[in-house]
Amino acid sequence: MDDQEPQFLEVGAGEKRRRIAYRLSGGGAYRDLTLFWLSGFLSDMGSTKALVMAEFAQERGLPMLRFDYSGHGLSSGSLLEASIGDWVEEAAAVLGVIERRRALVVGSSMGAWIALLLARELARAGKLEKIAGLVLIAPAWDMTERLMAHRMTPEIKATLERDGVHYEPSLYGEPYPITKHLIEEGRNHLLGVETLHLDVPVRILQGMRDPDVPWGHALDLVDLLHCSDVELTLIKGADHRQSRPEDLRRLETTVAALLAELQREGTSEARPSR
């Protein structure tokens, strides 16, 4: 599904200007809707779940938009200099590519936090209608504070102060950098300081064997959300990645069900696929 050449979008100004890679696939079945994929920290638009969603969208004639954050994948920039604010800015800029179409946003881990921040930003601007719904996979909202800073030992905090970066061992590969800048800038984007008013349907998929995002973190998000339509699915055997065949099928089923609901409620129009 990545045989399509990426396109590039310039975001930011001056020294903060970066070149963001994205892919927008076509689809003729839906008149007004695009699937917008937001990857997790250290992931990119070629990940397992992103490709599954790309195939899902193609089969249904649904346009799909995905991109790489700065410091990730095919985009420019350094992970040692990037921050949550940068990635939210990039998500908003890439979303602008689809202009008048609405987005069904699917965010994984940190991508779910980005999705919520983007929705909050649009709501504050009176433009929440741009978002048709949210599907959040292991949502790592406020992760820099609640899932990183709060877990740091005094030794790690001292390393951050001295070196500006700590390399965290990973269950999935090489140690990854957590920078002082990432932690401190992330405090400008915390959701847990207020009720989150988002009048859009929200679906949350949370594994109960997730070592990175405890399932209680998802419960806290449900309490935080002031929405009339929120569903949380706790998956007893799933880990953080939710990449087992049964997890991927569940993701597809969840997105398909939300698409069907949007059509029934008249918030999205679809042509019959040929």
What mean pLDDT is reported for the chain? 94
197-248 pLDDT per residue, tens: 999 999 999 999 999 999 999 999 999 999 999 999 999 999 999 999 999 9
35 neighbors 41 (Cβ within 8 angstroms): no
Domain ranges of the chain: 7-142+195-264
31-58 pLDDT per residue, tens: 899 999 999 999 999 999 999 999 999 9
What is the rounded CA–CA span in Å between residue 220 and residue 240?
Answer: 17
129 neighbors 101 (Cβ within 8 angstroms): no
What is the rounded CA–CA span in Å between residue 93 and residue 21?
Answer: 12
Which range, of 71-75, 151-155, 226-230, 263-267, averages the lowest pLDDT?
263-267
What is the rounded CA–CA span in Å between residue 265 and residue 33?
Answer: 14
**At residue 13, what are phi and psi to the nearest 5 degrees?**
-140, 155
Listed in sequence order, the DSSP H helices in the chain are: 48-60, 84-95, 110-124, 154-163, 180-186, 215-224, 245-264
Pairing of strands 18-25, 64-67: antiparallel
262 neighbors 132 (Cβ within 8 angstroms): yes
Tokens (6 digits) for 178:
């957590």
118-139 pLDDT per residue, tens: 999 999 999 999 999 999 999 9
3-state SS class at 128: helix
Tell me which residue of 99, 266, 102, 85 sits closest to 185, measured CA to CA.
85
What is the rounded CA–CA span in Å between residue 146 and residue 158?
Answer: 18
Please give the CATH superfamily to which domain 7-142+195-264 belongs.
Answer: Alpha/Beta hydrolase fold, catalytic domain (3.40.50.1820)
In the block, tokens 């698409």 appear at 259
CB-neighbour burial class of residue 265 (10 A; exposed 0-12, middle 13-18, buried 19+): exposed
Would you state the pLDDT for residue 274? 35
Tell me which residue of 96, 91, 99, 97 sits closest to 116, measured CA to CA.
91
